[in-house]
Amino acid sequence: MSGVCVVVPAGIDDPARVSGGNRYDRQVCDGLRDAGWTVSEIAVGGPWPCGDDPALASLARSLDDLPDGALVVVDGLIASGAAGVLVPRSARLRLVVLVHMVFGGQVVDGVAVPECDEAAVLGAARAVVTTSAWTRRRLLERYRVPAARLHVARPGTEPAPVSPGTPDGGRLLCVGTLSPIKGQDLLVQALGELVGLPWRATLVGSHDRDPRFAGALTRQAAAAGIADRIRLPGTRGRAALQAEYGDADLLVVPSRAETYGMVVPEALAAGVPVVATAVGGIPEALGRTADGLPGLLVPPEDPAALAAVLARWLTDGELRRRLRDAALRRRPTLPDWRQTAARIRDVLAAVRTEPDPPGVRVAL
């Protein structure tokens, strides 16, 4: 029987802290168990990716308790800022890093994540798994990591009932933590230009990650005179979120950055077309069909372009029909979580059996 230890951020199952990375980690751990692997989870608290001394010390103690040669997968949220812990232990452990997003050089909560730390961790890993081909290319461009060590395991989707849709297409949905990176302010600005058209928008996502932004968003909607047409229900659990997709005509993803955008295939699984910014891995997540794209892409940071595309959607019944047909065609081609877990199993099996690099001895 195969065994693996997975290091995840504390609270990955907390319904108040829903995120794409947490859901991905949970699905992968469960998928490995379903395939007969023994999976132990180490949940590490701390202000990741900029771990403080107590968080780093806790991570170090947990890893030091593992036997020599243990196969260890570390979520990139933790790994990016933990070079001082992970690199010295990479000779003793078989380290795999799961990269949801690239943190090196980014400022998170006012603290910069050093590129050199992220580079050191990725260089010490036996393998790196990314959640999109776009992220893999990004890592190859930024860091000197051998291409053969970089693998892609795209997020899966779960089966969902098809949304029945409405004749006027006016039920708009946006899903993501209320934060500048998700761009809900751009969407509200665009909707403010469409007061004469029939629409209502639901912006699902936590208000707690960035309360200042969430409050500004509410004031922005009020100033535009559209507060009564925008619903901000907060975080939604799995069943409630699926119900939101089931009620939607269109998913709008106005993000300023995305490494993949798990909400895109989630909407397509319900036959819901997508309007999204053409950033990062979003075009990859959207995909295409024989009927063309199952949605429309707009430039980032361009609320006027977003407003124009939404106006087309709301006023052109033929466009809505064409995009919905393409979304229904895309639906059966979406990867499921079993495929995601199988891809990661293949990577882990190869790492578990590969010979040690010259000069490194790992007891198995």
Q: How far apart, in whole angstroms, are the C-alpha atoms of residue 307 and residue 218?
A: 19
CATH number for the domain harbouring residue 287: 3.40.50.2000
Shared domain for 277 and 181, answered yes or no, is yes
Shared domain for 128 and 183, answered yes or no, is no
What residue type is 304 in one-letter code?
Answer: A
pLDDT confidence bin for 108, thresholds 50/70/90: low
Q: Which pLDDT belongs to residue 300? A: 96
Residue 37: Cβ within 10 Å count = 19
Q: Flag whether pLDDT at 299 surpasses 50.
A: yes
pLDDT confidence bin for 109, thresholds 50/70/90: low
Residue 161 domain flag: no
Residue 364 domain flag: no
Shared domain for 344 and 313, answered yes or no, is no
Q: Element (H or E) spanning 94, and its range?
A: strand 94-99
Q: What is the pLDDT of residues 120-178, one digit of tens each?
A: 999 999 999 999 999 999 999 999 999 999 999 999 999 899 999 999 999 999 999 99
Residue 362 domain flag: no
Residue 361 domain flag: no
What residue type is 13 in one-letter code?
Answer: D
Residue 131: Cβ within 10 Å count = 25
What range defines the domain where residue 120 resides? 3-156+337-353
Domain count, the chain: 2
**Which contacts (CB < 8 Å, 24+ apart) does range 41-46 have?**
41/5, 41/6, 41/7, 41/8, 42/5, 42/6, 42/7, 42/8, 43/8, 43/9, 43/10, 43/11, 43/12, 44/7, 44/8, 44/9, 44/10, 44/78, 45/9, 45/10, 45/11, 46/10, 46/78
Q: CA end-to-end span of the chain, whole Å?
A: 14
What residue type is 323 in one-letter code?
Answer: L
Mapping DSSP to helix (H, G, I), strand (E, B) and coil, where does residue 274 land?
A: strand
- Which parts of the chain fold into alpha helices (H)? 20-34, 53-64, 76-79, 83-89, 115-124, 133-142, 184-191, 211-223, 238-247, 263-269, 282-286, 303-315, 317-330, 337-353
Shared domain for 229 and 176, answered yes or no, is yes
Q: What is the mean pLDDT of the chain?
A: 92
Q: Flag whether pLDDT at 219 surpasses 90.
A: yes
Give every CB contact of residue 192 below 8 A, 6+ residues apart in sequence.
Answer: 224, 225, 226
Range name among 99-113, 154-168, 214-228 with the lowest pLDDT average: 99-113
Residue 359 domain flag: no
Residue 164 domain flag: no
pLDDT confidence bin for 105, thresholds 50/70/90: low
Q: Which pLDDT belongs to residue 359? A: 45
Shared domain for 309 and 175, answered yes or no, is yes
Q: Which pLDDT belongs to residue 291? A: 81
Q: Which pLDDT belongs to residue 187? A: 98
Shared domain for 210 and 147, answered yes or no, is no
Q: What is the pLDDT of residues 61-86, one digit of tens each?
A: 999 999 999 999 999 999 998 999 99
Q: Which residues pair with 4 in a beta bridge?
A: 39
- Angle (CA) 147-149-152 rounded to 5° is 85
Shared domain for 22 and 111, answered yes or no, is yes
Residue 363 domain flag: no
Closest CA to 254 of 215, 300, 291: 300
Shared domain for 131 and 34, answered yes or no, is yes
Shared domain for 41 and 95, answered yes or no, is yes
Q: How far apart, in whole angstroms, are the C-alpha atoms of residue 250 and residue 253?
A: 10
Q: Which pLDDT belongs to residue 360? A: 41
Q: How many residues are there in the chain?
A: 364
Q: Which pLDDT belongs to residue 1? A: 53
Q: Which pLDDT belongs to residue 157? A: 94
Q: Which residues pair with 150 in a beta bridge?
A: 128
Pairing mode, if any, of strands 111-112 and 107-108?
antiparallel
Rounded percentage of the chain residues whose pLDDT exceeds 90: 82
**287 to 30, 243, 260: CA distances (angstroms):** 27, 24, 11
Q: Which pLDDT belongs to residue 363? A: 30
- Angle (CA) 204-270-29 rounded to 5° is 75
Shared domain for 281 and 348, answered yes or no, is no
For every residue of 187-240, which 3-state class applies, written as one string?
A: HHHHHCCCCCCCCEEEEECCCCCCHHHHHHHHHHHHHCCCHHHEEEEECCCHHH
Shared domain for 210 and 138, answered yes or no, is no
Q: Flag whether pLDDT at 279 surpasses 70.
A: yes
Residue 235 domain flag: yes
Shared domain for 196 and 310, answered yes or no, is yes
Q: Which pLDDT belongs to residue 358? A: 53
Both tokens of 204, joined, read: 């699902």
For the entire predicted model, the pTM comes to: 0.92
Q: How far apart, in whole angstroms, are the C-alpha atoms of residue 298 and residue 296?
A: 7
Q: What is the pLDDT of residues 310-356, one digit of tens each?
A: 999 999 999 999 999 999 999 999 999 999 999 999 999 999 988 87
